[in-house]
Amino acid sequence: MGQEDGFDKRLEAARARNGMQRADEPKRSEVPNGPWGVGFRAGVEVVSALVVGVGIGFALDRWLGTWPWLFLVMFVLGSAAGVLNVYRLFRPGRRVEIDSD
């Protein structure tokens, strides 16, 4: 263990000497952040929230016989939830904020 630490330190020093320091990479494993991945993820989040909202509205309407009012309300709420999901996807410092408490 100690040997490894020493090696890491020497490697760090050597890198610093030669101007090859690594940028401080976040060590956390994160969800991959390629442009396609993010775009696809955002789309899926919106669609799934919308589907859940519309599904709940439709089911409640069939149950209570209030077609189409709850469907319309849940459609709007589902859209809002989709936007919320996308916001959560891009909200900066999410992990840090959680870890601090």
Partner 1 sequence: MAAEGKAIDALSQFELSTTLGPIGAAVNFTQSNLHMVYAAAFAILLMTVGMGARALVPGRMQSLAESAYEFIMGMVTEQVGEEGKRYFPFVFALFMFVLLGNAIGLLPYAFTYTSHIVVTFGLAAMVIVVVTGVALARHGWHFFGYFFPEGAPLWLAPIIIPVEIVSYLSRPLSLSIRLFANMVAGHVMLKVFATFVVMLGGLGVVGPVLSILPLSINVALMGFELLVAFLQAYVFAILTCIYLHDAVHLH
- The binding site for partner 1 (CB under 8 A) comprises 27-32, 40-41, 44-45, 47-49, 51-53, 56, 74, 77-78, 80-82, 84-85, 88, 98, 101
Nearer to partner 1, 52 or 58 (CB): 52
To partner 1, the closest distance from the beta carbon of 84 in angstroms equals 5
User: Which CB, 22 or 28, lies closer to partner 1?
Assistant: 28
The per-residue DSSP string of the chain comes to -HHHHHHHHHHHHHHHHTT-PPP----S------HHHHHHHHHHHHHHHHHHHHHHHHHHHHHHT-TTHHHHHHHHHHHHHHHHHHHHHH-TTHHHHHHT-
From the CB of 49, what's the least distance to partner 1, in Å?
A: 4
